[in-house]
Each structure stands twice: as C-alpha cells, then as structure tokens.
Amino acid sequence: MTRGCTMETRQFEIRTDRLLLRPHRLEDVDDIFEFARDPEWGRYLTVPKPYFREHAVEFVEDRIHTSRELWPVWAMVLEGRVVGGIGIEIDAQDETGALGYSLARKHWGRGLAVEAARAVVDCGFRERGLAKVYAYADARNVQSLRVMEKLGMTREGTLRSHRVLRGERVDDVYYGVLKEEWMRDEG
Ligand SMILES: CC(C)(COP(=O)(O)OP(=O)(O)OC[C@H]1O[C@@H](n2cnc3c(N)ncnc32)[C@H](O)[C@@H]1OP(=O)(O)O)[C@@H](O)C(=O)NCCC(=O)NCCS
C-alpha cells in the first residue's frame, strides 16, 4: 500500500483504498482553489482570508519545490480530482515527523483523511525510519482531533495560548504515536 514514499521512487505515489496520493502539479491549482476558498475549510488553518486564486498558485508552487527528503507532501486525489493534501515534516536528527492534512469540505465525514494519514504515517515508520509521528491542531478543531484519535495517537498535551491565528490566541493540542505502538497495532 505504501510503496512510493521513498525518495528513490520516481513516481512518489501512494495508493490507498480510495485515494491516490501523488506530488502536486501546476494544473492542481483550480481544484485546490475550489475548496480552499471556502472559509469553513480554512477556519483553523494558517491560510489567507479571503483566499484568492494566487494563494492557490503560491501553495502549489511551494509544494512542488518542497524537499521530498525533509517534507514529503502529497496531493490527495479522489476520482481524478485533487480533494486535499497531506504531508509529514521530518526532523531527521530526532527521527520525528509532524503530520498535517486537509480535505475539501464536501468530502468530510467519510474517513478519507484518516485513510490518507494511515498510509503516510505507515510510510514514515517503515520507509523513513521515524521513531515518532505527531500532529497538532487548534483545540477547537474537533474534527482534526478525531482524526488523530482514530489513527491511534495518544493525546500528549495542550500548549495554551501558543500562537496567534488571525489576531486570536490559540491553544494547540498535540497527539503522537511511537513506532513500537504503530507496529504493534498496525502489524
Ligand atoms: C480535519 C479533516 C481533515 C478531517 O477529515 P475527514 O476525512 O472529514 O475526517 P473523518 O471523516 O475521519 O471525520 C472526523 C470527525 O469529524 C466529524 N465530522 C465529519 N464530518 C463533519 C462535518 N461535515 N461537519 C462537522 N464535523 C464533521 C466527525 O465527528 C468525525 O468523527 P467520527 O468519525 O468520530 O464521527 C477535515 O475536516 C478538514 O480538512 N478540515 C479543514 C482543514 C483542517 O482543519 N485540517 C487539519 C489541520 S490540524
């Protein structure tokens, strides 16, 4: 399932039951703009509001130039359309990875983010040699916290008033999973 997440693999693709995770391309801009302009999608994200098409262009260009070694990122493709994105920012020295994900609102509630995240976390442990994967979200972003729980991560704590999001101070909740826990639970 996770073949394709190593740097050496030219395709750099991961297939899950319903999704193809592949590198971003310039032609993804319109699909991304369509869901990213939705204020509800960006409510807890550090994204511009309002979100213009040029922001989607910048986003895609950034993703195309991101180091696959340090921050592998994938477009989530469902039935030929880009419906979200997922990535894992790697700290090679500490062997940790910070997972991030987002999905178009019209596909929420179908377990797609968990499906993508499971494949990416698995890749992080099995192919990148990570010892720990963690993720965090605005404490009010209960959907994202549920994703972390459904991945089998442990809630490790809340960093209170930890950053500013569009002028508002935000609490961040951190979750993590260790390699030995993942291997025990996911086989
Ligand atoms: C967070 C996110 C990726 C979850 O994706 P998803 O594929 O919908 O996740 P799931 O289907 O597993 O649903 C997660 C929980 O969200 C809740 N949920 C699902 N659809 C919902 C909806 N339309 N409205 C409100 N809550 C919803 C459910 O409680 C669900 O938990 P449950 O399975 O225990 O009932 C998605 O909501 C998203 O992209 N949000 C905007 C970007 C973002 O916040 N990213 C995370 C940054 S840390």
* Mean pLDDT of the chain, nearest integer: 95
Residues enclosing ligand 1, CB less than 6 A? 41, 44-45, 101-103, 108-114, 137, 141, 143-144, 146-147, 150
Instruction: Please report whether residue 8 resides in a domain.
Output: no
Instruction: Please report whether residue 180 resides in a domain.
Output: yes
Lowest mean per-residue pLDDT among 3-7, 47-51, 104-108, 146-150: 3-7
Distance CA 129, CA 94 (A): 11
Instruction: Please report whether residue 28 resides in a domain.
Output: yes
Instruction: Please report whether residue 1 resides in a domain.
Output: no
Q: Report pLDDT for 186.
A: 85
In which domain, by residue range, is 108 found?
A: 14-186
Pocket test for ligand 1, best of 32, 141, 143 (most atoms within 8 A of CB): 143
pTM: 0.95
* Alpha carbon separation from 26 to 8, 52, 62, 88 (Å, rounded): 22, 16, 10, 21
Instruction: Please report whether residue 75 resides in a domain.
Output: yes
Instruction: Please report whether residue 9 resides in a domain.
Output: no
Q: What is the mean pLDDT of residues 108-119?
A: 98
Q: What is the mean pLDDT of residues 34-61?
A: 98
**CATH code for position 110:** 3.40.630.30
Q: What is the mean pLDDT of residues 137-151?
A: 98
pLDDT in tens, 5-22: 654 555 799 999 999 999
Instruction: Please report whether residue 3 resides in a domain.
Output: no
